[in-house]
Amino acid sequence: MSTNKRWVLAKRPEGVPRVADFLLEESVLPELQDGQALIRVDHISVDPGMRSRLSGDSYAPALELGATIESAGIGKVIKSTNPKIKDGALVWGSFGWQTHLLTDGRGVQALDPNFYEGKIAPTAAIGLFGIPGLTAFFGMFEIGKVRGGNTVLVSSAAGTVGATAGQIAKIQGCTVVGLAGSEAKCAYLKEIGFDTAINYKTTGDLTEACKAAAPKGYDIYFDNVGGETLDAAILNMRRHGRIVVSGQISEYNTQTPRGIRHTLPFITQRLRMEGLVVYDHSVQFDEARRQMAEWVNEGRLSYREEIIEGIENTPEAFIGLFKGDSFGRRLVHVN
């Protein structure tokens, strides 16, 4: 018998979520059925993209009230009667905000021990080698069509998606400018090779700052923020520029999104803007992981994690994402 702690959606948040919107439930897991496996979850992720599913707004399917908050996780198989899942194996999947789960194996994948060794920790399976890193990879190559010599602007550049996108652009021979919200984050961007880092909180006019950093403009803007930042980028795009829409964190907590003001540059500069759903590229995931692992082992690509201790602190860890207080891939250590 195992006890599970899980965070469920208690009520739909208005604006920035509050701890009271979530409820920590404790329950005894039922006995293992034939074909099932019991997983002890070690680390879970908190993801800004989950915000829209909490309120059930217009486009993403809403999470039901009382349902476990979804997230990526890694864990260890405690006991298995499923031939595809081995006792003691390290696994990852969409485990949600909880400490244990019973699974029939669907969506559970074993971590290859040969892959997660040396410079690559197992937690990277839900960071650099999970959805955030893959988003950066396919956003840069498939939508950004990155080429050597391009000038690239990245927002939320100190986050896992942004930092990976920027480093990939550097590896391809680009000039890269990153936007981040603190001096420490900007220093980190310089450390991992960004040519210029702009602290958007202190820079004043963002459009001018982006222009000063790249007077000839940008070929690629990798958008994680939306809103005013996106407008600043649009005004600085070069002809035939590409805007990769990976996320728009500035819009997630509002009932009345700001959107953008500047649309004419789409015509005058022949811009292309495209939203990315990374799962569209799932057949190439392994290929991308192999390439990124090679770069990590060569010391050309790095990633940063921020581990919060304790399942009870998960909602605060999530809420902090919207205040910009996370720095790197934010994970919660639950077991």
Interface with another protein (CB under 8 A)? 58-60, 226, 230, 239, 245-248, 251, 256-277, 280
CB of 164 to another protein, least distance (A): 18
Given the complex with another protein, which of 114 and 256 has the nearer CB atom?
256
Contact 155, 203 (CB under 8 A): no
Give CA–CA dist 284/143, Å, rounded: 14
CB of 252 to another protein, least distance (A): 9
CB of 45 to another protein, least distance (A): 18
Give CA–CA dist 193/301, Å, rounded: 10
Given the complex with another protein, which of 73 and 133 has the nearer CB atom?
133
Within 8 A by CB and 6+ apart from 92, the residues are 72, 73, 74, 75, 108, 109, 111, 125, 126, 130
CB of 212 to another protein, least distance (A): 18
Give CA–CA dist 335/298, Å, rounded: 32
Give CA–CA dist 84/77, Å, rounded: 11
Given the complex with another protein, which of 141 and 266 has the nearer CB atom?
266
Given the complex with another protein, which of 154 and 273 has the nearer CB atom?
273
CB of 251 to another protein, least distance (A): 5
Distance linking the first and last C-alpha atoms of the chain = 17
Integer angstrom CA distances of residue 99 from 31, 311, 331: 16, 7, 13
Nearest to 17 by CA among 7, 5, 27: 7
Given the complex with another protein, which of 42 and 231 has the nearer CB atom?
231
